Structure 1
Amino acid sequence: MGKPLALPLPGLDVGALAAASLVPPGGEELRVLDLFAGAGGLSQGFQQVGFRVAGGSDIDPDACATYSRNFPGAQVICGDIRLPEVHEQVVQAGRGVDVVVGGPPCQAFSQVRNHSRIIDDPRNSLYREFVKTVDEIKPPAFVMENVPGMAQMGVLEQVKEDLELGGAYRVIARVLDAADFGVPQTRKRLVFVGIRRDLGESPPMVMGSEATAYLSLVRHAKGKYAVEGRRDEGRAALLMEALADPDNLSVVSTDQALSDLRGLQAGRREDNMGIGELKEAESAYQRLMRKHLSGEIANVSVPRINADTVTRLKKIPAGGNHRDLPEALTARYISGEKWGPSTDSGKLVRAHFYAYRRLHPGMWAWTLNTKADSAYHYRAARALSVREFARLQSFPDHFVFTTDPRRGPLPGRIDGGQAHSRYRQVGNAVPPLLAEEIGKAVQATIRRARQAACQE
């Protein structure tokens, strides 16, 4: 199928690998290396299963600062993995790990033409680094996540073939939605799981609640929204019941995720708050997020909000957007204060659909992006704090988002300032609860293979 992998990658010595890595299980601690780690969503999920995080790599110094703070026992390599010295550090950090995970950015999936391979395209050099690193470390398993659109771009089989490394790995690919795994946010990711062929196991299938296939937020009329079932009525009814139950962790709504933080005010400058100031947990999800929290909860500052936005939000119902505004509030400026880019028409335009969106308390959130105004609170006229973003991504409350203390431009740093960096780190992450389920399946597969090897 297509040309062979266009990389000078060494061959796989299965015999040597079997002798080196198929050790007695005995509940041994497995280790994971995270490439293109960002803040560490994949690492956090695998750690929650019991993996030890051996190391993480990213080019962004702010994300590296967050990673270092939350995984103090891990080796953090901050730099461009395409540089030989950085690549070598990553490989050394990953020697002997059980799983390599990562989500390499890929730029040229939709431009594949004339049977050219995406791994040959210079724009996909980071993807090539992931494949190359897996081949050099040769872990028992790997997980690569990416945009779900790849499955519709005609390159899925190419990627699968690249990751198989000439038959050394068995690989499967599935689109998973985080909301099906107890995350209060819909976020689809295409996940490739590879298991080294000499383990004698197939890659595990990860299954969730399938709530996203049976429940949806429906707009009936201007200002009228409701959570409703679809397809199989019986299955939808059971999932609707689970979603409404604050003690059920299989499907979680935004209110179940955020209600204990409702006292936060727009313009709050203090970023930390004593746990004694927190309202009592009101759901199983909130209790789960607080499980290892002590002392203070971080990242609770809230952006300021201008008068025009407050006026509009008061007229937008939970779950709604600018289409629910009365005509009088569709003018670009209401109070006369000029802020943000103006429009030729003097009215709100299509882009403002994403600028005035209020969460619905009885439904999970839509996919968050990297900006603070990508979602407004369902009750208060305000944006969300970084902590509330993190709750919707399923990061536990003890996980702190920070930035490199050095000011100004740094190699790999994205402009925008400290606050934007923290929102971006959360918005770009893989939800830890989704990563946890993947980690459980991979962990069970590796241990089953090692148990079988010990019994031979």
Structure 2
Amino acid sequence: MNFSILPSDPKTVAASKLDNNDTARFRDERAGVNYIRTDMKREENDSLEVVSLFSGAGGFDVGLEQAGFKTLACIDFDKDCRETIEFNRPDWIVVDGKSYRAQADLPDRILGDIRAIEPIEVLRAVKRKPGDIDLVVGGAPCQPFSNMGKKHGQNDEKNGDLFLHFVRFVEEIQPKAFIFENVVGITQGRHREVISYMKEQFSGMDFGISHAVLNAANYGVPQRRERFFLIGIRNVDAPAFPLPTHYKSEASWKTFVGGFDKIPIVSPQAWQTVGDTFKKMSSERRKRDDYACMTVSDKVVERMLYIKAGENFKVVPPELLPQCWKSGKHLGSDTFGRLDPDQPSVTIRTAAYNPSKGRYIHPFENRGLDTIEMAALQDFPPEWKFRCKGRSKVTLVSAGKQIGNAVPPSLAKALGKAVRAQLSSISS
């Protein structure tokens, strides 16, 4: 279903000519964020090249591939993620992967630890020099800044300094653009110092800088997942983010574009839903090596019988609840909730296979989500397979981490197309 804005506003009529321009940009005056249309035909260069940091299971890179980029090298600390990427894209160089370690004269280190990897080593591996790479992308592990975690931020002893290594790689690789991703919590309180530091460092490298929080549902992902993005493009003032291609409703779209300097004449599609996604899935998925589903007891199934779409544990008779759930004081509104098939899912986190961890009860069946359903809600293409090093079948925990930590490909694709359009405009 599409909906459109009729040209009743003078700004809308004026924008109709601009919409025929390949570099059509719009500014949200309230939020101070620029947007660019990504649904327009453009004459574009050959594949642009990417170095991917904190790559995880490859969601960001799959989306960039769909936008016309080629990932040359990936870095990730998790051995299962490295295995997944090597399995699905053997032509991508995975730093410290099996084939990479076969090279001579590599230093001993904790495999995949970005702290011990030099950018010049990666450039040599892909046969490029500083300034050749078009794009560096990545998101340092988000737990230090997450609203779900302890919120230690940059003071986190384990991972809080990893954003500094993103800065280091950008500084030494000298790409034409970068995209840094993280959780929304990085914009809050003392964690904002990280954004200020990064903006200061990158502006000194001649990057124009912009940041915004984007909702994956607005880009065709069947999931309400908000993430923070910081974009830098050389010689572009205030880089633009992709204009949404999907929206909740016509009324909400009108509210969104109401503060724009020009109203884009577009017909965004309605949000993709859980039901839309699950209808496309085959039962054959249960034969896959990366299929796993949490076993639940008869007692847990009995609780699920009381819960309708959109409801949670609060509708279950008290005598059926665990003692620790009866007060409900420490539980969120999504706890032990059933997904609504007519809406996008809630954020798919690393334990989205466990119904007690959120609104993760299957919309039609009395069970949690299986790993293939999780991946579909995260927008991975059906042919993308998750691996677990040393095992023929993936474990539930490993698949959950790989899927839940990923950037949904359609969101990454939209970001890639926005960056690509702006790089094309400065090179033409």
With structure 2 as the length reference, what TM-score do the two structures score? 0.71
Residue 159 and residue 76 in structure 1: after superposition, are their counterparts in 2 closer, same or farther (change >3 A)? same
RMSD: 3.4
- Is 1:446 matched with 2:418? no
- Is 1:251 matched with 2:279? no
Is the contact between residue 350 and residue 402 of structure 2 (CA under 8 Å) also seen in structure 1? yes
Which has the higher mean CA deviation after the structures are superposed, 442-451 or 175-184? 442-451
Give 1:37's aligned residue.
55
Give 1:431's aligned residue.
408
Is the contact between residue 245 and residue 269 of structure 2 (CA under 8 Å) also seen in structure 1? no
Is the contact between residue 38 and residue 429 of structure 1 (CA under 8 Å) also seen in structure 2? yes
2:204 pairs with one of 166, 171, 176: 166
Q: Distance in 1 between matches of 2:256 and 2:88?
A: 43
SS at match of 2:175: coil
Residue 210 and residue 174 in structure 1: after superposition, are their counterparts in 2 closer, same or farther (change >3 A)? farther
Give 2:66's aligned residue.
48
Is the contact between residue 160 and residue 173 of structure 1 (CA under 8 Å) also seen in structure 2? no
5 Å-filtered alignment, 1:149-188, equals 149-153=185-189, 154-155=192-193, 157-188=195-226
Residue 56 of structure 1 deviates from its aligned partner by 0.6
Is the contact between residue 171 and residue 192 of structure 1 (CA under 8 Å) also seen in structure 2? yes
Residue 261 of structure 1 deviates from its aligned partner by 3.6
Residue 387 and residue 157 in structure 1: after superposition, are their counterparts in 2 closer, same or farther (change >3 A)? closer
Is the contact between residue 105 and residue 126 of structure 1 (CA under 8 Å) also seen in structure 2? yes
Q: Distance in 1 between matches of 2:156 and 2:79?
A: 28
Residue 50 and residue 323 in structure 1: after superposition, are their counterparts in 2 closer, same or farther (change >3 A)? same
Residue 67 and residue 188 in structure 1: after superposition, are their counterparts in 2 closer, same or farther (change >3 A)? same
5 Å-filtered alignment, 1:21-36, equals 27-36=45-54
Amino acid aligned to 1:396: P
Cα deviation, 1:124-150, whole Å, max 9, x if unaligned, reads 321111000001010101000111122
Is the contact between residue 242 and residue 417 of structure 2 (CA under 8 Å) also seen in structure 1? no
5 Å-filtered alignment, 1:332-371, equals 332=323, 343=324, 350-351=330-331, 355-371=335-351
Is the contact between residue 292 and residue 395 of structure 2 (CA under 8 Å) also seen in structure 1? no
Q: Distance in 1 between matches of 2:116 and 2:373?
A: 39
Give 2:227's aligned residue.
189
* Identity percentage of aligned residues: 30
Is the contact between residue 163 and residue 194 of structure 1 (CA under 8 Å) also seen in structure 2? no
Q: Distance in 2 between matches of 1:119 and 1:133?
A: 21
Give 1:138's aligned residue.
174
Residue 233 and residue 100 in structure 1: after superposition, are their counterparts in 2 closer, same or farther (change >3 A)? closer
SS at match of 2:214: strand
Residue 182 and residue 133 in structure 1: after superposition, are their counterparts in 2 closer, same or farther (change >3 A)? same
Is the contact between residue 34 and residue 56 of structure 1 (CA under 8 Å) also seen in structure 2? yes
Q: Distance in 2 between matches of 1:71 and 1:156?
A: 33
Q: Distance in 2 between matches of 1:166 and 1:354?
A: 43
5 Å-filtered alignment, 1:65-80, equals 65-78=83-96, 79-80=111-112
Residue 354 and residue 45 in structure 1: after superposition, are their counterparts in 2 closer, same or farther (change >3 A)? same
Give 1:398's aligned residue.
383
SS at match of 2:221: coil
Q: Distance in 2 between matches of 1:136 and 1:398?
A: 35
Give 1:422's aligned residue.
399
Residue 183 of structure 1 deviates from its aligned partner by 0.6
Is the contact between residue 254 and residue 361 of structure 1 (CA under 8 Å) also seen in structure 2? yes
Is the contact between residue 37 and residue 102 of structure 1 (CA under 8 Å) also seen in structure 2? yes
2:296 pairs with one of 305, 312, 335: 305
**Structure 1 unmatched ranges of 5 or more:** 1-24, 111-116, 216-228, 236-247, 273-297, 333-342, 408-416, 452-456
Residue 445 of structure 1 deviates from its aligned partner by 1.3
Cα deviation, 1:14-48, whole Å, max 9, x if unaligned, reads xxxxxxxxxxx963211111100000111000001
Cα deviation, 1:78-133, whole Å, max 9, x if unaligned, reads 434444456553343463221000001367669xxxxxx96999953211110000
Q: Distance in 2 between matches of 1:444 and 1:232?
A: 25
Q: Distance in 1 between matches of 2:224 and 2:281?
A: 21
Is the contact between residue 137 and residue 180 of structure 2 (CA under 8 Å) also seen in structure 1? yes
Residue 437 of structure 1 deviates from its aligned partner by 0.1
Give 1:60's aligned residue.
78
SS at match of 2:242: coil
The structure having more radius of gyration, on CA atoms, is 1
2:121 pairs with one of 77, 89, 98: 89
Amino acid aligned to 2:421: A
Which has the higher mean CA deviation after the structures are superposed, 423-432 or 203-212? 203-212
Residue 300 and residue 249 in structure 1: after superposition, are their counterparts in 2 closer, same or farther (change >3 A)? farther
With structure 1 as the length reference, what TM-score do the two structures score? 0.67
Amino acid aligned to 1:304: T
**Structure 2 unmatched ranges of 5 or more:** 1-42, 97-110, 147-152, 258-267
Residue 329 of structure 1 deviates from its aligned partner by 2.3
Cα deviation, 1:350-383, whole Å, max 9, x if unaligned, reads 3486551110010000111111114110110111
Give 2:264's aligned residue.
none
Q: Distance in 1 between matches of 2:387 and 2:162?
A: 25
Cα deviation, 1:396-448, whole Å, max 9, x if unaligned, reads 101111111269xxxxxxxxx82210111000000000000000011111122
Q: Distance in 2 between matches of 1:119 and 1:386?
A: 33
Residue 163 and residue 143 in structure 1: after superposition, are their counterparts in 2 closer, same or farther (change >3 A)? farther
Is the contact between residue 91 and residue 136 of structure 1 (CA under 8 Å) also seen in structure 2? no
